[in-house]
Amino acid sequence: MAWLGALLILALIFFLFRIFPLQMIVLSGVLVVGGGMLGVYAYVDDRDYARQRAAITMAVAFNPKACSIEFPLLVAVHNSYKKPVGKVSWNFEARKPGYSNNLVNYGRGSDYDTPYSSDKILHKGQTDRLCYAVPVLNSGAQPENLVWSIGKKEHDFLSD
């Protein structure tokens, strides 16, 4: 059925070009230029967001010596972007070495939720270290034997 709608729209455009050729050429030019400008803006905005995202680096390690037995996950957050970051949110992933399944159990939440966060303001070049408890794990896995990583990460920069 969509092909019928597309055919009707093409017929209307053809009809309008036959009746109002100059106006339709001008309108087509405006639409092409406007679409091109929108595409360039989207590309530049996406590239800038990717650059910002890559500038906030995070690492996690099971390290009860650096933290404590109760909070053995050491998380490091580093800002190498020009703007100060006001908040970073993330989730943990844990896998058995050589396996791909994430063993962290977020319950009713999703692997895409970000239940952990830090609102420590980090200026360019600053690093914050935090300690967290081990989240609930599936299949009775031992946290010290797992490969830990940061899953989804979100950030908010402070306004200039």
Alpha carbons 51 and 82: distance in angstroms, whole number: 11
pTM greater than 0.85: no
- Sheet strand arrangement including 73-79: 56-62, 73-79, 127-132
Does residue 120 have a pLDDT over 90? yes
% of the chain surpassing 90 pLDDT? 48
% of the chain surpassing 70 pLDDT? 97
Does residue 53 have a pLDDT over 90? no
